Amino acid sequence: MVGGNKASLIGQYNQIHDLGFDFLFSKAAFFDIVLPLTVGFVVVSGAIALACYMLTFSLLKMHRKSAVL
């Protein structure tokens, strides 16, 4: 970067900058970034929902047993 002319540096930046947008919309970005994030979100949200459901179910079941006795 030091000692290069301005036009050369701008040309190199434009070449590299365009590569970022090409990678962002490629299949590699989808399978490396978007798919793992989506699968992770679904798994974690499903686990949290199941835990909340089981907690609510067990609390209702315990409350019903104490009300019957």
pLDDT tier for residue 68 given thresholds of 50, 70 and 90: low
What does the alpha-carbon distance between residue 23 and residue 29 come to, in Å, rounded to a whole number? Answer: 6
What does the alpha-carbon distance between residue 48 and residue 54 come to, in Å, rounded to a whole number? Answer: 10
What is the predicted pLDDT for the residue at 31?
Answer: 85
What is the predicted pLDDT for the residue at 52?
Answer: 98
The token pair at 57 is 């179910």
What is the predicted pLDDT for the residue at 42?
Answer: 98
What is the predicted pLDDT for the residue at 4?
Answer: 74
Query: What are the tens digits of pLDDT across the range 2-48?
Result: 677 888 888 888 888 777 667 767 788 788 888 999 999 999 999 99
